[in-house]
Structures are given as C-alpha cells and as structure tokens.
Structure 1
C-alpha cells in the first residue's frame, strides 16, 4: 500500500508533468502565432492582400484578442476594397479597446470611403479627444487639420 509520502510524491509528479505540458502547449501556441503574424506582415508588404487576409484570420483564430492583428486585417481588407468588412474589424477593436486611437483613425478613413462623412467626422472627433487625453500633440495636430478640411468641404 502507498503511504502518505508516496501518495504525495505521485501527486507532485503529476502536478509537475501537467504544468510542463501546459507550458509546452502555450509556448507552441505563442511561437505559431508569432510565425503566422510575421508571415502576414510579409505578405501585406508584398501586396499579396488575399493571402495576408487569410494569414491574419488564422492568427485571430488562435488568439482572438490581438487588436493589432485585427487592425492589420482591416487594412488588408481596405486594400482589397472590402471596406464594410474592414469597418467591422475597426469597430470591433474600438468596442474591445476604446482608447485605441489607431482604430478610430482607420475607422474614420473607412467611413469616408463609404461616403459617410458625418460619421467619419464624429469618429475623428473621438480620436482627437483621445489624443488630447493621451497628450499626443503631433498626431493631434494632424487630426485637427484633417477635421478642418472635412468640415469645410
């Protein structure tokens, strides 16, 4: 029969092996995600937008909370003229990370391409407010210039 010491040892070994298995799994997942992400970037830079889209979708399937990949997927969709789909990607990022200024800027651009000027202006104004709060003076100046132009036209 097992005594208490042997039983404790068995539990310890099982705990260590389980931890190592989990660590191995998460390491593999991280490496796979990183490799796919880099592949997507390369494909985008090569202007192979269809393949870049597929690759970014793979990354999102592995890690659905990566907002940078969603922004890049949106950019890729924009390059293919899939503006409605891109708009949804940018809006998803805003819903999850409401302080992510880049999502507002990209969404505003997509709304302008959809000829939704008032929505684009409202979105840019939200970006402007975030930039002020984050004290990003240079980007704030650029957004203010764009807003002035949009409101005049």
Structure 2
C-alpha cells in the first residue's frame, strides 16, 4: 500500500517547521543566558552601567523574567536611581506577590529613603514568605533586623 505523497510532504513540512521553531527558542535561550551572565559579571565588577545595559537587554528578550528585574533594581540602586529601583521592585511584587526577595529589596530602598514604616511592612512580608518557604535562617535574620529597627524607633 502506497502512502499519499501529499501526506508525506505535509508531514515533512511539519517536522521541518517544528525543528526550526525549536532551534529558534534554543538560540534565543542561549542569547538570553549570555546577556544575563554578562550582566552578573559586570555587576560583580561594579560596572553598573554595563550591567544595566545587559539586564535591560535580557528583559527586552524575555519580559517575564522577574529575577533579572531584581538584579536591574539592584544596579539602579547602586547608581543612585532609587525611584526607578523602587518601581521595579514594586512591579515584581505586583507580578509575583510570593517573591520574598522583592519585598526584601524594596524594604532596603525604603530604608534608604527613610520610609521606615513601609520598610518594616515589607520586611515583615518577606519574613512571613521565607517562613512559608521554610527558609528559616533568612526569616530569623529579618526578624532580628525588625527587632533592631523597632528598638531604635522606641529610643526616639
């Protein structure tokens, strides 16, 4: 029994298209990974402008990556762009309300802006999330920090 030649051609086209799509996504993932690694290396080398450019490139290629947004916020904070860093951290919290690191980073910039009450709220949220995630050491450190902030507040 002979196969229909049109069916064979369609099957071949589907396979070729599937391979092309897979190749595209593999290439895109490799490019994103390279920019991310470059951003991390530049951040560690304190080349914040270069790191910012690399992280922005990653976000332009993959807009759903919240980890990169956190790193970009850190870079912006290091460059004194606290308002933009604050907005990035708030955006991550809005997109991913269970991201404890976002609350922690937001609390850090709020402390820099002397917004102690809001910082404490975010620290408490981070602590609660770390406890739920069974990251008890991090939760304990935040609890100690909250105790120190509260004792300084009561001294004033």
Q: Normalising by the residue count of structure 1, what TM-score does the alignment of the two structures yield?
A: 0.94
Three-state SS of the structure 2 residue aligned to 1:47 is coil
Q: Secondary structure at the match of 2:131?
A: helix
CA RMSD, Structure 1 to Structure 2 (Å): 1.3
State the shift of 1:135 in Å: 2.1
Moved segments of 4+, more than 3 Å: none
Pairs aligned (count): 151
Q: Which residue of 2 aligns with 1:40?
A: 39
Give, in angstroms, the shift of residue 60 of structure 1. Answer: 0.4
Corresponding residue number in structure 2 for 1:21 = 20
Distance 1:27 1:124 in 2: 38
Is there any run of 5+ residues in structure 1 with no aligned partner, and where? none
How far 1:4 sits from its partner (Å)? 7.1
* Partner SS, residue 4 of structure 2: helix
1-structure distance, mates of 2:27, 2:135: 37
Q: 1:5 is matched with which residue?
A: 4
Alpha-carbon distance in 1 for matches of 2:109, 2:92: 14
Alignment partner, residue 128 of structure 2 = 129
Give SS of 2:64's match: coil
Deviations 1:111-142 (A, max 9, x none): 11112111101111111111222222111111
1:60 matched to 2:28: no
Which consecutive unaligned segments of at least 5 residues does structure 2 have?
A: none
